[in-house]
Amino acid sequence: MKALSIFFLTLIFAVGFAVAADQPQPPAVGNPAPTFTLPSQEGAQVSLDQFKGKWVVLYFYPKDFTSGCTVEAHNFQRDIDKYTAKNAAIVGVSVDTVDSHKGFCTKEGLNFKLLADPDHAVVSKYGSVMEYNGMTLAARNTFLIDPTGVIRKVYLKVSPQGHSEEVLTDLAQLQAK
C-alpha cells in the first residue's frame, strides 16, 4: 500500500512539473525584450522597436472593463505625466480585441496604447498566460524595458493598487544609475 501511495504521489508531481514546464517562462532581467507587433485601440500596428530610445512600461492585464484592470489602468493614466517626464511610454496588452480596447479607453479616459493579442502570441512570449474559468487570459505581469530594448525589471502577479507608484520608484532608481 505504501509503495502504491508513493507511486501515485510521484506520478502527480511528475505531471505537475510537466504541465509547469509547458508554460512559457517570463523573460529575465538583463535579456532583450521579445519583439512584437500588435494592433492598438486605434487599429494601428504598434511594435516594440517603435519605442527605441524610450523606457517602456509593458504591462499585461487580464480583461478590459474589470475592476482590477480598471484600477491599474486609471493609476497609469493618473501618473502619465510623470512617466512622460522620465522618457517612458506605457503600453498595456491583453487578449481582448481592438474594439474592446477602443471602448475601454473611451469609457475610462485612457490616453496610452492598449494592444490587442487575441491569439495569445505576445502574452506567451512574455510568459504571461493564465487560465481562468476556461478562458485564456493575460496574467497581470509588467516588464520595465530600457531605451535599448533590455528588460531591467520584471513584476509578476502584480497587485493593481499601488503598482504604478512602484514602477515609478524603480524607474527613478534605474535612471539614477
105 is catalytic: no
Pick the closest to residue 167 from 93, 101, 80, 95 (CA basis): 80
Pick the closest to residue 73 from 129, 25, 112 (CA basis): 112
Q: In this structure, is the dihedral angle defined by the CA atoms of residues 162, 74, 81 and 43, taken in order, positive or negative?
A: positive
- Catalytic residue selected from 46, 48, 69, 91: 69
In whole angstroms, what is the distance from residue 109 CA to residue 120 CA? Answer: 26
Residue carrying the nine cell digits 494601428: 44
In whole angstroms, what is the distance from residue 130 CA to residue 115 CA? Answer: 17
- CA angle, 132 then 137 then 139, to 5°: 95
- C-alpha cell read off for 109: 479616459
Tell me the catalytic residues. Answer: 69
